[in-house]
Chain A
Amino acid sequence: MKVIQIDKNDWNRGIDASRKAYHLFGPVTDNNQSMFKQLAPDQYPDMEKPDTIMSPKSVLFPQTEKLLGATLDPTAENHHIMERPETDYSPRAVIGIRPYDARAVALVKLNFDTPEYRDPYWCDAYAATTFVGLAVNQPSVTDFSTAMGSGPFAEEGLDALLVDAGDLYLAKVLTPKGEAFFSAAGFDTVADTDESLEKIEQLKNKAETAMGPLAVFTDKLAQKSILDLHGAPFWEDLAFTCINCGTCTFVCPTCWCFDIQDETKGNSAARFRNWDTCMSPLFTKHGSGHNPRGEKTQRVRQRFMHKLKYFLDKYDSGTMCVGCGRCVEKCPVNIDIRQVCNKMNSYEPQK
């Protein structure tokens, strides 16, 4: 394990140097809204406010993405033939991604990159991307990532992990991609490994202690029967409260659902995909008019069952929730997945 130390005074200079080799993405605050965006040539990632409203999932999976395009001009040789647009997949780096969001990328990969099917758009973007994480020294009140297979200093899905140690960053180099990024940035001061790992360990313990003891439990979810959980009585009351907006799924780093739309304008035709949400009644509406999830209760149940049960059963990689807390924070009616998870985990059907 190599640890690099970066004086914060050198940070912007290194970021600028890295722009020659990478398109940079990072947390920025625009119009009072913090989110991950591609950085303008003179823009730096806001490392003081990396807990963004929206997760960085849009770097690999934009909310609206053109999949195919065609011309409808009958005189053109290739008219009506759909083709994949030219997209720039030269190296990108996401700076300041939080460990829970990096785990989310790893989970989303299970869906977009499978032996049977490979989503070329997501996978090409993924292959081009280097993830330079930032450990969470001060977890927010809604962060429960330690309960969901991640944690404030977790490394899964990252190419490097920066740890804010006051005047400097201690950077754990985790993969060759991470190594390449630091060399492009000119960050090459190797730190004393033992000493810096100890410092990192201290900060990690401090962050985990601040989060308090685990209060969300997932240990029994795997043994529960889907049908029992389906029939549990608590969905009704949750569904009453839920206004069925898509906020929880749009802010979620692991929600991957999309809807495909064709649009034409003059002679140009395009096929797009847009984020979709299982909270919308249209999500499951069949061409026949039948809707298997026509009732709000069914839709609310779907979201939690997918996150906490179906995914777990299908991939055996933990829950599909990484505990980032965004949905808890942003749900307009404060439906709290931590409580729902505990209810599901402890649910015993009445015999």
Chain B
Amino acid sequence: MVWPRPRRLGAEEQARHTGKRYAAESRFKMVGLAAVLTSMGLLVLLLSTIVGQGFTAFWQTSLSLDVNLDAAEIDPQGTRNPQDIMAANYAGLINDALYAKFPEVTSRSDRRDLRGLVSVGAPGQVAQYVLDNPDVIGTTQRVTVLTDDVVDQFVKGKIDRDLPESARPISDQTIGWIDRLEQDGAISSNFNTLLFENGDSREPELAGIWGAIVGSFWMMIIVLALAVPIGVSAAIYLEEFAPKKSKLVDLIEVNINNLAAVPSIVFGLLGLAVFLNTLHLPRSAPLVGALTITLMTLPIIVVATRAALRAVPPSIRDAALGVGASKIQTVGHHVLPLALPGIMTGTIIGMAHALGETAPLIMIGMVAFIVDIPSGPLSPATVLPVQIYIWADSPERAFAERTAAGIIVLLAFLITMNALAVILRKRFERKW
């Protein structure tokens, strides 16, 4: 081949050419930097949107009312029997307190709107208050009850009062009442403990994530108990014991790599067909969710554990075998302890992944509307990400706020787990 003879450039031309190349260089660098900044900006946007939406859900608007806790209504016999106290008509007492506060409201429809200021959970709150303090029966007490979710959203400024009346879910009249109550200091904002005590509810102001957290807890316990021993064992076998030329081992290797790439929803189909329809395990139970998620998490743990085992230098194994240890003793006494930090890091990351998984759990019925706090791995439950999905689907405005709050709690768990993994890696990382 004949190479073309390079043309010799003049000094000026040369400088221009070099300048062009350097300009291209800095353009390329800027484009790369822009890509990194865009990615980081997108994360900031994502997190700030969610925190901005959700942090207000940690406070809930309450209304203080002077309720006449009439002895004739609550405890006509004077027995202080808790069942009688619970059975009284507290809704009526609260309504009377509201009517007394706004004596000018007389028409039936207006009074209905007025009653709508307080949450449907308010009578239960008053009942609990009376039950805890039986001495107040027969007196008039200032009781703090939850407001309805629309009032709550208005007080938090999430509903624009300048909109025309027909375009917002709250009437001018109601806004007038709320303004008067605010002037009287009857409206207060308290830390939302119900969010961390209740299960799901149709009423946004009563809905909490505790049921979902407990469901997630049961599920993760079982995933931990199944996925970690099986995953670590499988990795030990493949890395330390598997014969190098074996069809079975090759098959297992290919399988594990492929399973790691199978979409999570396919595992949901597997769980539905095998655990629910063939083995007839209970629907919506954390046990079934855990079995499904375990199959999904196993490949992650196997891959991480193998990497950790591979990082232990062969000289350690040779030394142990050289002084007469058996293969099992070599692995059990020397390789495994040295690989443990890496295994734990991989396991935590796998568990964090499992905690955030949603799609397969929808398939096996964990989207059911469940109010009760699950009592064990077999009782119907939902988990945090699925609860987030359920709320995100709800039309009420106040649920958007709850959804974001649920996400904040979920992300807090995940970030804690990931931080733990990073600390473990930093603390125990060894260079051989």
Do A and B form a real pair?
Answer: no
Chain B residues within 8 Å of A, Cβ to Cβ: none
